[in-house]
Amino acid sequence: MTTPIDIKITETNLDDIAMAEGRIVILLGKNGQLDLGARRINRLTKGAVKRFSESETAAEMKLATSRDLAFPVGLAATAVQIVRLDRNASVYEARRAGAAIGSAAGDGPVTVLAGALRRPEELALGMALRAYDYADMRSPKDAKKKAKLAMTLMVTDSKAAKAAAADVSARAAGVFFARDLVSAPANVLTTTSFADRLVELKSHGLKVEVLDEPALEKLGMASLLAVGMGSEAPSKVVVMQHLGGKKGVAPLALVGKGVVFDTGGISMKPAGGMEDMTMDMGGAGTVAGTMKTLAMRKAKANVIGIVGLVENMPDGRAQRPGDIVKSMKGDTIEVINTDAEGRLVLCDVMWYVQDKFKPDAMVDLATLTGAVIVALGHENTGVFSNDDKFCNDLLKSAKSEGEGAWRLPLAPAYDKLLKSDKADMKNVGGRAAGSITAAQFLQRFVKDDTPWCHLDIAGTAQTKSATKYAPRGATGWGVLTLDRLVRDRYEPQD
């Protein structure tokens, strides 16, 4: 698994900076001001930094962007990275600036002269997130390159910065865990190995239980089990409990779709792009990453993370279009399209977690529909909810963490699209409003007294190009948002 880089926070010490190897990072204020560290680098480079700060290129730089001075005279460093960032930068600006540093870091040492920056912990988090590199499947020679990367953050008050950055490693570790899970190929991340990786979270203090197929049959999860009938991989449900809050306080439930590979089943997907369906467990990955973060930082809240792990394959035993399955709730579902399998997994898991744990609220996450990508592209997750207050809390958390999210409607009028002549409902409603009808389907498995948000992360779990805080590929979208939701809504406020 990928471990976040260790960012060492120290008091500013410029005595030996001329001999520092690798990259040196300095900050340029929005009006061209040079702080103490930048002024020292300017002297050592015989005025190169000052000349750059007065150039048109510097004047055109936006906040949190950077430029390099390569192989600077007077320094052992291979480059000086000049980052446009004001001392009183916002959380968003500091984190974006950190991402610029992490993106350019390469595989050698990096020394960041942050001085009296107001939010050095956000700079550190951005650095850590953007320096991610999935190397689990590379040869040992290639995988070792990133191991040389070391970052030192020099600040005026290291004691205060270390205290503020105490949770950075836990947050980055959760995001990295989610990214690693999404990045892993399906022949490596099977339903069994996925469950095994979640069991390993016991070492962080989580209580973890794995429900196998006989247990799921006993519970009546026929909808979930039908999805995996065509696969050699056994279907599983994994329950993770973080009980850091007061005893007896109702938990927040996080539910994740964990389809480790999705061929579409008998309703087979086109060959082009099918390799990307290793990411169809992105919802489960985000839930797992969030639970790891909560456990590592010892969050003072009660949270249940539950994921349904299946593989959707075509086989002589696979479910067919036209089959009718019965959910744990007792409702019957006519399967019109076997490629609309995620909702068949989620509906049983959602009912189970409400029935057993009686949560205060519930969030489900799933790479559920291509329709949400048509609507929102790759910038925003689609959000659906039955409770305005809970939804607004979640949207606020997403905005605070810089993760795009946009609320889409639910309405009874869409239910007619799911009407079946043979069963209680169909699993799809046609091309029109595809992401909405999927959410309407799931809402039927939400109890009346449960505040609920459904997050369709099909467009944000994995991208073809780099995002603000991640290289191309898995993003870990949602770990920071859900961690923030727990902090602000469920943990005691000091």
User: Hey, what domains does the chain have and what are their CATH numbers?
Assistant: 7-163 (3.40.220.10), 169-490 (3.40.630.10)
Measured over the CA atoms of residue 40, residue 45, residue 51 and residue 55, the dihedral's sign is negative
Is 333 in contact with 427 (CB distance < 8 Å)?
Answer: yes
Find residue 332's DSSP bridge partners: 326
Please return the burial class of 157, using the count of CB atoms within 10 Å of its CB with bins 0-12, 13-18 and 19+.
middle
- Residues with Cβ within 8 Å of 483's Cβ and at least 6 positions away in sequence, in order, are 171, 174, 290, 293, 294, 299, 401
pLDDT for position 138 = 87
Angle (CA) 415-417-422 rounded to 5° is 95
Is 106 in contact with 119 (CB distance < 8 Å)?
Answer: no
- Which run of H or of E encompasses 324? strand 324-326
Find residue 309's DSSP bridge partners: 236, 258
pLDDT for position 107 = 85
C-alpha distances in Å from residue 437, one per residue of 62, 116, 189, 379, 434: 41, 51, 30, 21, 5
Is 339 in contact with 269 (CB distance < 8 Å)?
Answer: yes
DSSP 493: P
Residue 105 CA, distance from chain mean position: 22
- Which run of H or of E encompasses 122? helix 120-130
Residue of 339, 362, 459, 359 lying closest to 403 (CA atoms): 459
Is 97 in contact with 135 (CB distance < 8 Å)?
Answer: no
In the chain, which stretches have pLDDT less than 50?
none
Q: List, for residues 390-437, the tens digit of each pLDDT value.
A: 999 999 999 999 999 999 999 999 999 999 999 999 999 989 999 999
C-alpha–C-alpha distance, residues 394 and 363, integer Å: 9
What six digits make up the tokens of 274? Answer: 């099918």
Assign 320 to helix, strand or coil.
coil
The 324-326 sheet, strands edge to edge: 324-326, 332-334, 425-426
pLDDT for position 141 = 63
C-alpha–C-alpha distance, residues 424 and 325, integer Å: 10
Is 182 in contact with 285 (CB distance < 8 Å)?
Answer: yes
pLDDT for position 147 = 55
pLDDT for position 33 = 87
Q: List, for residues 205-215, the tens digit of each pLDDT value.
A: 999 999 999 99
**Which residues are part of the catalytic machinery?**
269, 343
Which DSSP string corresponds to 197-256? HHHGGGGGT-EEEEE-HHHHHHHT-HHHHHHGGG-SSPPEEEEEEEE-S-TTPPPEEEEE
